[in-house]
Amino acid sequence: TYKNSDAQSGSQAAPAARTGAGADLVDGSKTKVALVPGGAHPYFQPWKTAGSAAKKTYGLGAVAFDETAEWDQQKQNNLLSTLAARGYNAFGVFGVSPTDINSTFADLKSQGFPVASLGSCPAGDKDDADFCLSTDVQLAAYKAAKAAIAAMGSKGTLVHLTGNNVDANTQLRIKGVAQAVKESGGKVKLLQTITDIDTDLQTAQKAVSDLMAAKGSQITGIVATAYNPAVAAADVVKSSGSKAKVIAIDDDAKILSGIKQGTVTATVVQNPVGQAEIGTWALALLQTKQCTVRSPGVEVDSGSFVVTKANVAGYDKARQAKTAELKKQFADKILTCG
């Protein structure tokens, strides 16, 4: 079986507020943090609560969650500058377009705002944000594919369902799945990668139904690395009576209920709570000039976990532990506080 990245680090749950000396936020009342996702998506919903929790915990001036970017880079850029005009002075951003977001980060940085890339890192080797706290997209897809292959009994035919083909993150997901399939040494065949079906639920359902009608008998596993395809796949597989295993991504309520009912075999969850919580805290430290980043542009893995019916009740503990560990990592290794 596959190990969760945090498996070693026990399960202490408390979101520790006081770790490493000097990394305690002294006065965050002037800090206004904006958490800006790419658009509306279930993945970001934990940011909202985690952000307001962090505001309370650290006594920040304000934490805003604004999803009005609607998956358009230009809109997101505008939104960020509007937020700056409204007085926000630290930004945690999920870039709509990973190839463009560095320019946006550079703009914000040039105006003196600390910036964190949350949830995904800019494409390429360069990162103009102060730090990037995210799940490695490719790794998450790789893990999902690994989980699928394991559920399929390490042999059979796999299908990968995903979103917008010309998005850098999609390309990473495709690579991740391909890598896992390659590692199976030919026993698992990747039948098809279906892209561009995350636009809406009906499109996804139609594509999966057509696929099952045409090739249903061969397919033994489905990896869905986008939301709508995952929901659709779970439903279609069940109603068509196929034996294929469905591996989803993220932990929206609909998918968790699928796991509980058995229509979804497993899902790879990431750590959006941790991203928002730690991101907000670190941004506040940077904004108040209390700390600096040791090597600007550093990329930190926020963790990813395979959730199955067996651990669906308790996976959140593991995630909280990872979050606590992240905080320590930031205090000790990433930030220099003086």
Partner 1 sequence: MTTSISPPDTVPEEKTATHRMPFWVNQRLGLLALVIALSVLFGVLRPAFLDQQLVLFPLLRDIATLTVVALAQMVALSVGHMNLAVGRMAAFGAMFAGLGYDRLGVPMQVGLLMCLAAGAAIGAVTGWLIARTGVSSFVVTLAMDFALLGLVSLMYSSLTDDAAFTTHPTGIDALRSYSLADICAGPICGSPAVPQIAQFTVLAMLALGFLYGCTRIGRELLLTGANPAAAELSGIPTGRRVLLAHTLSGLLAALAGFMAAAGTGTFRASIGDDFMLPSFLGAVLGGTLLTGGVVSVLGTLLGTALVGVIRKGLDLLGVGLESLNIYLGCVLLLALSADRIRAVVSYRKVVRST
Partner 2 sequence: MNRLNVTLGQGSWGGSALRRFARSTAAMLLCVVVVGYVALGIASSGSFFEGPSVRVFLQYLATPILIGLAQMVALCVGQLNLAVGALGGFTACLMGVLMADHGVPAGVAVIVGLLTATAIGLATGVAIVGTQINGFIVTLATMTILLGAQYRLTGTRTVDGYSRTLRDFGTAAPLNIPLVFVTALVAAALLAAFMYRTVAGRRLLAAGGNPLAARLSGISTDRQIVAAHTLSGLLIGVAAVTATASLPGVNRSVGGDWLLPSFAAPIIGGVALTGGSIAVLGTVLAAFVTRLIDAARAQFSLDPSWVNLLIGLVVLGTVAGGRLHQTRLEKSATTDGAVLPQTGGAQ
Instruction: Tell me how crowded residue 104 is: count the other CB atoms within 10 A of its CB.
Output: 25
Q: Does 261 bind partner 2 (CB under 8 A)?
A: no
Report how far apart, in Å, the C-alpha atoms of 82 and of each of 107, 108, 169 are: 13, 12, 26
d(CA 60, CA 57): 8
Distance in Å, CB of 53 to partner 1, minimum:
18
Q: Does 179 bind partner 1 (CB under 8 A)?
A: no
Instruction: Tell me how crowded residue 168 is: count the other CB atoms within 10 A of its CB.
Output: 19
Task: Give the residue, chosen from 9, 19, 209, 329, that forms a contact with partner 2 under the rule CB under 8 A.
Answer: 209
Q: Does 196 bind partner 2 (CB under 8 A)?
A: yes
d(CA 121, CA 239): 38
Q: Does 218 bind partner 2 (CB under 8 A)?
A: no
Q: Which is nearer to partner 2, 31 or 52 (CB)?
A: 52
Q: Does 216 bind partner 1 (CB under 8 A)?
A: no
d(CA 168, CA 123): 7
- Site residues for partner 2, 92-131, by CB under 8 A, read none
Q: Where are the alpha helices (DSSP H) in 184-300?
A: 201-215, 227-240, 253-261, 272-287
Q: Which is nearer to partner 2, 121 or 194 (CB)?
A: 194
Rounded (10°) angle between helices 137-151 and 168-183: 40
Contacts to partner 2 by CB under 8 A = 40-42, 44-45, 165, 191-192, 194-196, 199-203, 205-207, 209-215, 228, 231-232, 234-235, 239-240, 252-254, 257
Residues at the site binding partner 1, with contacts judged by CB under 8 A: 40, 64, 66-68, 70, 72-74, 77-79, 81-82, 84-87, 97-104, 107, 123-124, 164-168, 170-172
